[in-house]
Structure 1
């Protein structure tokens, strides 16, 4: 039997190659206030609620009290409504799609969403039996237009989607116009504010111009907001709000068709730890309204400095007019995938994004309240990495490899064979440490979306085999 100290030492060894979750060097996946006392309070509350099971709120009334407080705070900021605390944005979106599908009762339901909408909508549609009708966006602003949305709605449309902001380029769709089109067609409209829901209101208070995007907008029927993003709570913490309580009930699931205990679930999961709820509850209290406004001001300033600094680096170009927290940049002169590898080698993670629907391959940075302290260092690394990438030139993909991969029948390959094939092409999926990903991304970028998905599934399978 291992002692607690021995186990923690083992954890330290296992995580020695992980990206750091504090300090601002990882520009995706993690959100840092720069205030250790906030994260400590959240961790202690998380641990205190760790073994509480949200499956039966009558057994653990603390769950009801905490969830009502957390959801109530989100509703007070985002235009009211009736909410559910979930494990993350994907689950919030899943519930919004389920509610819309069940309310409509169509035989062949579809949802209409911009190409920039989060893949969680595709995942929800895949699980729940809907068709996704993708809408192109303007390739200068990266926003969807209401007219383009209107063209895709038909009698089987059960939900219209827009983003505030969309993740890839950080721009806010014209929510009021899209919601008006949806309302005219008598179709619910969901706003994906998983990233922006707990930031845009504070940016507005910090002086930024932020258009109306929440449940106060006529025609918006539901909205998702992640607290483990700019709420800075531990993973996974999100809220989905419905304007109509009847719609929230459509998101629930109950089953009495068995002789066991009563089953009534507000979320996709049944048994789940109340740890994330406790962490979110503590974080909201520890930061407070004034704290979120201060973090928003720091985010605005860091984003301004980052945009201006990127514009001064030869060959780099910011995409669109980001709302403040998400910035994507590209280059016609430098291989951005090589740039990302160069930055990773220097201890900084900048997230690559593949080209799609006319949008070029680019690199993505999530700016948080802690970024202000590191933005000058980040710009220095990006400038140095851009210079190194320019000198290296584009990643070299072996002749014929793209055509060979495109023609692979992956159903005939086991995971070991696929791993050996990847290794022969120079892609090691099993080594420890932070990998170079330029070759992988270059291969994926040259493939159509469906083949990318097949390859990504096999990558994941090999990594866990």
Structure 2
């Protein structure tokens, strides 16, 4: 039984929490180069945590019951709009929800029977998720394999009378490059199609990099033809998760994102987001973070991240066998190995206390490792480069992971729906993945090598089964 017979004290609960998080990656210090964003300023995170806790039990379901959430959301959304070309916005739980609302609004506004959206292969999977939920066809188009930027001609050719939305990224997550937003928005506008800029990563970063001297092309709602934009505040806004904003150039489009229902005898239903009841904690945390840092704080963090990213790219260029993919205009850096297996390198770095995020090959883009440079990275960039160099040398000696003979072919021929979770766990164990609770951080090189050898649809099926097993 998971529920204790008697209640636990706060001290007991925190002790149990410490045990449960024993094998978690650290959220502070910069040694985890994805998933978490650290300013290196503990007082800012403390202020956000206190505001989050203060608003924890406030319910955003009914703004007339809690007018504080209206004022706080106006201030947060207003700050984003002021920075990113104006517009009318909604505070959401994250980039996926912001994107979901943008796709919903575009679909509802167009009123097509068979709606589709056109996006580069580097666009975030949140668009695929939104399209899956909302019954919209996805039409992916290639990117230039030298720059990794969207091909404008391919975008134009993929559109038809049923296209409801075109997507550009600022930047795309995989290689940190900014798509040609102005050109994409122009071809969309010429065809009478809405254009969304996914600035979930860059929205609250690129303006500060520009102030720090970086050459950042126009990408926001000030660009003609851009009709909506998403910006996450729990990334380079450094707010607690989940905090994002979706902006619409036209207030009528924001209304398309809303949902209302009067077809029942209960309380009034009007939702600005996908969720109904939701804690105001994230809103409080975002509000506090923006105000605790202020413009001056974000400019300073922008300068620090820009310097750290420049030093990281230069350092990687000096490590034999490694090369940075593209010329990122942001502080996201992806690198691959010419004579070094990147999946083995990632395992070696993890063994040395650093997490580098593996990215599988796709659409002609090689397998690589991704690093998100944040405000705290500058203090540890030399240590990171030392670990990468050591890990690359170790990976070169070890060679690529050894995939059991016939395993890829076996998986290709499996009907995964016929396997129960126990059998799938045994299959995972055959490549060294221990899915038992408390097993700690696994070595993933073999798993990533197997996934990399599989087509995308089968990768997805394997990942679904993996998730099912670890939660069983």
Range of TM-score over shorter length: over 0.9
Instruction: List aligned pairs for 1:237-276, cutoff 5 A.
Output: 237-276=243-282
Contact 1:227–1:237 (8 Å) recurs in 2: yes
Instruction: List aligned pairs for 1:208-357, cutoff 5 A.
Output: 208-357=214-363
Match 1:446 to one of 423, 447, 453: 453
**Are residues 1:19 and 2:21 paired?**
no
In structure 1, the residue matched to 2:3 is none
Map Cα deviations across residues 273-319 of structure 1 (whole Å, 9 max, x no partner).
00000000000000000100000000000001000000000000000
* Partner SS, residue 70 of structure 2: helix
Q: Report the alpha carbon displacement of residue 420 of structure 1 after superposing the two structures with TM.
A: 1.3
Contact 1:225–1:239 (8 Å) recurs in 2: yes
Q: Report the alpha carbon displacement of residue 145 of structure 1 after superposing the two structures with TM.
A: 2.2
Q: Report the alpha carbon displacement of residue 429 of structure 1 after superposing the two structures with TM.
A: 1.9
Runs of 4+ in 1 over 6 A off after TM superposition: none
Instruction: List aligned pairs for 1:39-438, cutoff 5 A.
Output: 39-430=45-436, 431-438=438-445
CA distance in 2, matches of 1:432, 1:80: 48
CA distance in 1, matches of 2:328, 2:84: 21
Q: Cα RMSD (Å) of the superposition? A: 0.6
* Partner SS, residue 293 of structure 2: helix
Map Cα deviations across residues 395-415 of structure 1 (whole Å, 9 max, x no partner).
000100000011110111111
CA distance in 1, matches of 2:175, 2:413: 32
Q: Report the alpha carbon displacement of residue 416 of structure 1 after superposing the two structures with TM.
A: 1.0
Q: Report the alpha carbon displacement of residue 425 of structure 1 after superposing the two structures with TM.
A: 3.4
Q: Report the alpha carbon displacement of residue 421 of structure 1 after superposing the two structures with TM.
A: 1.8
CA distance in 1, matches of 2:336, 2:466: 26
Q: Report the alpha carbon displacement of residue 362 of structure 1 after superposing the two structures with TM.
A: 0.1
* Partner SS, residue 111 of structure 1: strand
* Partner SS, residue 185 of structure 2: helix
Contact 1:299–1:324 (8 Å) recurs in 2: no
Q: How many residues align?
A: 465
Q: Which blocks of at least 5 consecutive residues in structure 1 are unaligned?
A: none
Map Cα deviations across residues 168-226 of structure 1 (whole Å, 9 max, x no partner).
00000000000000000000000000000000001111111100000000000000000
Contact 2:361–2:368 (8 Å) recurs in 1: yes
Contact 1:353–1:363 (8 Å) recurs in 2: yes
CA distance in 2, matches of 1:12, 1:399: 41
Contact 1:85–1:239 (8 Å) recurs in 2: yes
Q: Which blocks of at least 5 consecutive residues in structure 2 are unaligned?
A: 1-6
Q: Report the alpha carbon displacement of residue 426 of structure 1 after superposing the two structures with TM.
A: 2.7
CA distance in 1, matches of 2:432, 2:147: 37
Q: Report the alpha carbon displacement of residue 15 of structure 1 after superposing the two structures with TM.
A: 0.6
In structure 1, the residue matched to 2:4 is none
Contact 2:431–2:446 (8 Å) recurs in 1: no
CA distance in 2, matches of 1:429, 1:351: 20
**Are residues 1:458 and 2:435 paired?**
no
CA distance in 2, matches of 1:289, 1:336: 38
